[in-house]
Amino acid sequence: MNETTSSRFISIDPKQKPLREVHNLLLSGVSPRPIALVSTISEDGIDNLAPFSFFNAFGANPPYIAFSPAYSGKDGSAKDTLLNLEKIPECVVHAVPFDLIEQVSLASTAYGPELSEFTKAGFETLESEVVRPKRVKNSPFHMECQVEQIIPLGGTKGSGNLVLCRIVRFHVSEAVMDDGKMTPDALDLIGRNGFNYYTRASGAALFTVNKPTGQGMGIDQLPRFVRESSILRGNDLGKLGSLEELPNQDAVQQYINGVRADKPTLKYTKLFLHGMDDLDSNPVQARKDIEIAAKVALNEGDLEFAIHVLMALDDL
Amino acid sequence: MNETTSSRFISIDPKQKPLREVHNLLLSGVSPRPIALVSTISEDGIDNLAPFSFFNAFGANPPYIAFSPAYSGKDGSAKDTLLNLEKIPECVVHAVPFDLIEQVSLASTAYGPELSEFTKAGFETLESEVVRPKRVKNSPFHMECQVEQIIPLGGTKGSGNLVLCRIVRFHVSEAVMDDGKMTPDALDLIGRNGFNYYTRASGAALFTVNKPTGQGMGIDQLPRFVRESSILRGNDLGKLGSLEELPNQDAVQQYINGVRADKPTLKYTKLFLHGMDDLDSNPVQARKDIEIAAKVALNEGDLEFAIHVLMALDDL
């Protein structure tokens, strides 16, 4: 496995650093963060809407989410969202798709408590079924919530306030439902990174990884030359380690005979046979070729090919 | 503003639905989620490593994160991570870049408590400075944490357990630092979506939005024909609403004279002048052209052009 990252780390004691720097470390290092567009209502009945990216789900039975309105880093003042929740502990939390980012950004600026961000940011409202705050029709996914607990995380300038919410009602737009499922492409949600960066979580940014079904043998079970290969990387080893066991040498020989007999057309099978033929005359290059063939096969999802051809090198 | 999503919503009472369905709603709708690779240690000194995507930062002063190891939805059993934290309330939480996904996926399978996922997933270890659990050298960002509180969120099958952690030490790989900043491209982190989907939060998936510096006038201040345009969408209106005020008709006339005098070369300025010349002969198409010119200008970041040419239509 190639060493790709510098081995050197900078160690930072948050107590020795200014708030701004600690905040930036969290914003960059904990990414991409989902965005909650949170609707609350004041005692006087004025709607409030604000986005938060210190937010996630935390359990499914019953369903819980949490988000964190921080005190101002400058003057320690509380956001309208927090003040409202202390009086009326109910909210609606909405997902934020790419199409809404500019309106959500507008809702994030500090309008006075007498102004509704629904109006300023041009959102249409829907009544909720269980709670008092209104819903944002423009979002495809709404969670009506009862606030169970507000946990102060420091109580000073820049400190968070964990708002722990139990979800009492979900609303899903039919437009993002595909055969009973909310697909990531239909949702087209955005995440928050550090600085001014956002991630659009759809299209080419998406990839899939199948969760191993059984118990993988583990990377520690792979032969040393595989683990220390300069061609195979962590992701390659992870796939190989997810296999249940190594094939024995009979199985390897049989597999290779099969590949030869098939008169291969795939590039990586050709490269492998080329390597096998050169093993005596030019062993260093030949082993390299076979490892590259295995790596390409792993990229194509052909784990069986990769493990068998690598194990062909194990008895040499 | 065009209506792009269906106005129809499906309403779901979580109490009426099986756990699996509620869980899937959260996994799809709360996305993309950052991933915590959490290192803990048992009383017997055996290292454990497991990934969690119910995870985020929650405050900066002092720095807090939280994640949630759920009880099994099948048999209600607790994960090793939770069992370890109940005995030794310390952990190291690591960011997960794209290069580590297959190893992290391997660490997510349930190896017995006597086996270390560091070994099975092929991770290199580093000693921590403050806490007992070890660090994963392969990750570029580590947070050593003291667990302050574990809040059970239901206490039954599939219930979460909110682990609230105070960060006592950060470690940042020099390889992801660029001029004192951790850039999203250097970090190349992944987020978790619903089903088997992940988001790679780097490259073309990234975009930037500048937070409005002052107080935008709000979308409600835009003329009705702009708010109800079939060409301008929510994101366009959001940008226009972030401006501090509308230009008056003198300023608009002066701006347009300036555009004419400049003998424009940009496509959208040409389209605008074309529209202005056709306003009498073909007003419907001409207004459309001018709105399209404004929309293109907004995409190019030329807010000043967009608001002035749109306001040229306001007195007609």
**Cα(A35)–Cα(A296) distance, rounded to whole angstroms?**
37
Note whether A273 and A125 are same-domain residues.
no
- Does residue B2 lie in a domain region? no
Give the structural domain span for B157.
11-203
**Cα(A197)–Cα(B111) distance, rounded to whole angstroms?**
37
Note whether A28 and A158 are same-domain residues.
yes
**Cα(B277)–Cα(B266) distance, rounded to whole angstroms?**
17
Which are the contacts of A189, defined by CB distance < 8 A and separation ≥ 6? A34, A35, A95, A96, A97, A98, A201, A202, B31, B32, B193
Chain A stretch 196-235, residues whose beta carbon is closer than 8 A to a beta carbon of chain B: 196-201, 204-212, 214-216, 218-220, 227, 233-235
Q: In what side-by-side order are the strands of the sheet with A206-208?
A: A206-208, B197-200, B190-192, B33-34
Note whether A74 and A223 are same-domain residues.
no
User: Per the structure block, which two tokens stand in for A298?
Assistant: 């792993």
Domain end position, chosen among A176, A203, A230 = A203
Note whether A59 and A150 are same-domain residues.
yes
Which residue on chain B is closest to A206 by alpha carbon? Answer: B199
Enter the pTM of the model: 0.91
DSSP letter for A242, please.
Answer: T
B7 touches A: beta carbon within 8 Å: yes
In chain A, the number of structural domains is 2
Chain B stretch 10-29, residues whose beta carbon is closer than 8 A to a beta carbon of chain A: 10-15, 19, 22-29
Question: Contacts of residue A232 in chain B, CB cutoff 8 Å?
Answer: none
B157-197: per-residue pLDDT in tens? 999 999 999 999 999 999 999 888 999 999 999 999 999 99
Residue type, B165: C
Note whether A181 and A236 are same-domain residues.
no
User: Per the structure block, which two tokens stand in for A73?
Assistant: 């880093």
Domain end position, chosen among A143, A178, A203 = A203
**Cα(B228)–Cα(B230) distance, rounded to whole angstroms?**
6
Question: Contacts of residue A108 in chain B, CB cutoff 8 Å?
Answer: 211-212
- Does residue A208 lie in a domain region? no
Chain A stretch 72-111, residues whose beta carbon is closer than 8 A to a beta carbon of chain B: 73, 95, 99-106, 108-111
Question: Contacts of residue B111 in chain A, CB cutoff 8 Å?
Answer: 215, 218
Q: Do B191 and A215 touch (CB under 8 A)?
A: no
Residue B85 belongs to domain with CATH number: 2.30.110.10
Residue type, B48: N
Domain end position, chosen among B203, B231, B248 = B203
**Distance (Å) from the C-alpha of residue A297 to the closest C-alpha of chain B?**
15
- Does residue A2 lie in a domain region? no
Question: Contacts of residue B171 in chain A, CB cutoff 8 Å?
Answer: 9-12
Note whether B166 and B258 are same-domain residues.
no
Note whether B133 and B227 are same-domain residues.
no
Contact B271, B293 (CB under 8 A): yes
**Distance (Å) from the C-alpha of residue A254 to the closest C-alpha of chain B?**
28
Q: Do A205 and B200 touch (CB under 8 A)?
A: yes
Query: Would you state the pLDDT for residue B315?
Result: 66
Mean pLDDT of B26-51: 97
- Does residue B273 lie in a domain region? yes
| Sequence-distant contacts of B124-127: CB under 8 A, at least 24 apart | B125/B47, B126/A9
Note whether A187 and A251 are same-domain residues.
no
Note whether B34 and B127 are same-domain residues.
yes
Pick from A11, A198, A239: CB nearest B102: A239
- Does residue A57 lie in a domain region? yes
Each residue's pLDDT tens digit in chain A (316 positions)? 444 444 799 999 999 999 999 999 999 999 999 999 999 999 999 999 999 999 999 999 999 999 999 999 999 999 999 999 999 999 999 999 999 999 999 998 878 888 889 999 999 999 999 999 999 999 999 999 999 999 999 999 999 999 999 999 999 999 999 888 999 999 999 999 999 999 999 999 999 998 777 788 999 999 999 999 999 999 999 999 999 999 999 999 999 999 989 887 888 999 999 999 999 999 999 999 999 999 999 999 999 999 999 999 986 6
Note whether B199 and B223 are same-domain residues.
no
Which residue on chain A is closest to B176 by alpha carbon? Answer: A5
**Cα(B113)–Cα(B40) distance, rounded to whole angstroms?**
11
DSSP string, A193-208: -STTEEEE-SGGGEEE
Q: How confident is the model at residue B3 (pLDDT cuts 50, 70, 90)?
A: very low
Q: Where are the alpha helices (DSSP H) in B64-170?
A: 80-87, 101-107, 117-120
